[in-house]
A and B are shown apart, each in its own frame.
Chain A
Amino acid sequence: MTNDKLNKHEWPLWEVFIRSKAGLDHKHAGSLHAADAQMAIENARDVYTRRMEGVSIWVVESKNIHASDPGESASLYDPASDKIYRHPTFYDLPDEVKYM
């Protein structure tokens, strides 16, 4: 659906990740257009942190993000689907054992 003629002058698209406070992971906030990384960070500040939502910003040009294919989810995640013994609730403990 993209039209090369129309997009010729469009600034590249960036994905924005924000750490909301020290100790937490950066989390995807959204995306925006900017000419370069520095401008992307400045724009991200204005677009995604107008109310002190962040203490750190990451930007990645969207074309550099590689994603799994949802159509292949079944086979991609298949190896984990029959291993309930990886969860602590799989194990029966006697009632006397309180903290484990």
Chain B
Amino acid sequence: MTVHSFQEHFDSLIDREISIEPKDWMPDDYRKTLIRQISQHAHSEIIGMLPEGNWITRAPSLRRKAVLLAKVQDEAGHGLYLYSAAETLGISRDEMYDQLHTGKAKYSSIFNYPTLTWADMGAIGWLVDGAAIMNQVPLCRTSYGPYARAMVRVCKEESFHQRQGFEIMLTLSKGSEVQRKMAQDALNRWWWPSLMMFGPPDAESPNTESSVRWRIKRFTNDELRQKFVDVTVEQAKVLGLEIPDKDLKWNEERGHYDFGKINWAEFYNVIKGNGPCNKQRLDARRKAWEDGKWVRDAAMAHAAKRKERSATKAA
């Protein structure tokens, strides 16, 4: 087959909604886009453990601690599913780690904000995981098979994450005045960064068009953001908390909530590395990797020794 007919075959698979699998021919840009998106997604899961890790030892009860620990373990697992999906495209795990540790690869900008109070564990589960789910559910049908299968797994596990966060918010909002204020403060701080999680507006999103054509993405950033706002505003009413947006208003004509302007300058600034915790997060990640080196080396040495021993025994 010529490149042209390979391309035709690929396009016809995409058009017929047939999954692309690792050994199938694919255009270089499709491969590159997927490697970028899947590895960023994996990095986000791994870095995403850090803000919550901050509260594991200080969770207010044993139940909350067990739940938070399980959630953070899930995030490690999600990172691993995604890294191995990316590896099927020909990039190695160490290359991806290297890109993360050198700052070459990005991760979701939301994790560069600090977790100041226990209520932040509630707000993260409710809003950040809520936004993540909104993004991830359509990815279960994304065109690249290994990515779609990883996302099915992730989505199955993620729904408890959002519920446990909402439960924390509900408990606080029904608690003392101080607790209610703590919940409101967390909502105030996490609301706008959560809206930014869907990425830049469609008009400024350089990758949206080709990603939609390749069926990597099923909905645009703005579509998903609107859906998130519509759903979450109703949930805030249940909590009796106020969304920190004076322009938020139901628009009868559109059948959606109108909402205020997002501070995109802040978003780009955080992505560039100037968020409140960028340095702290990357330092923690690099330290974990470097401190773990002797364990990785020792495990390899142990495996080699055991192999050798069983070879001598056999001889």
Contact = CB atoms under 8 A, between A and B. Distances in A.
Given A36-B303, A50-B74, A69 B94 contact: no
A12 B191 CA distance: 42
B77 interface: yes
B151 to A, nearest CB: 12
B226 to A, nearest CB: 32
Contacts of B296: 9, 11, 35
Interface in A1-16: 1-3, 6-7, 9-11, 13
Contact of A30 (B84, B302, B303): B84
Given A13-B87, A50-B74, A71-B1, A3 B92 contact: yes
Contact of A9 (B21, B80, B297, B302): B297
A70 B24 contact: yes
B60 interface: no
Nearest to A2: B92
A39 B299 contact: yes
B80 A47 contact: yes
Contacts of B92: 1-3, 6-7, 10
Contact of B87 (A6, A11, A31, A36): A31
Contacts of B85: 30
Grouping DSSP codes into helix (H, G, I), strand (E, B) and loop, the B interface class, with mixed when no group exceeds half, is helix
A19 to B, nearest CB: 17
A77 B117 CA distance: 60
A80 interface: no
B90 A39 contact: no
Contacts of A35: 296, 299-300, 302-303
B315 to A, nearest CB: 20
A47 B76 CA distance: 8
A52 to B, nearest CB: 13
A63 interface: no
A43 B195 CA distance: 35
Interface in B57-80: 70, 73-74, 77, 80
A67 B306 CA distance: 29
Contact of A32 (B23, B84, B91, B95): B84
What is the interface residue range for chain A against chain B?
A: 20 to 34
A39 B303 contact: yes
Nearest to B95: A6
Nearest to B307: A36
Contacts of A31: 84, 87
A1 B315 CA distance: 39
B93 A10 contact: yes
B81 interface: yes
A26 interface: no
A51 interface: yes
Contacts of A71: 1, 25
Contacts of B149: 30
B42 interface: no
B150 interface: yes
26 contacts: A1-B95, A2-B90, A2-B91, A3-B92, A3-B95, A10-B92, A10-B94, A13-B84, A30-B81, A31-B87, A32-B80, A32-B84, A33-B93, A35-B299, A36-B303, A36-B306, A39-B299, A47-B81, A48-B77, A50-B70, A50-B73, A50-B157, A69-B23, A70-B23, A70-B25, A71-B25
Interface of A: 1-3, 6-7, 9-11, 13, 30-33, 35-36, 39, 46-48, 50-51, 67, 69-71
Closest 6 CB pairs of A and B: A35-B299, A36-B303, A35-B303, A31-B84, A1-B90, A6-B94
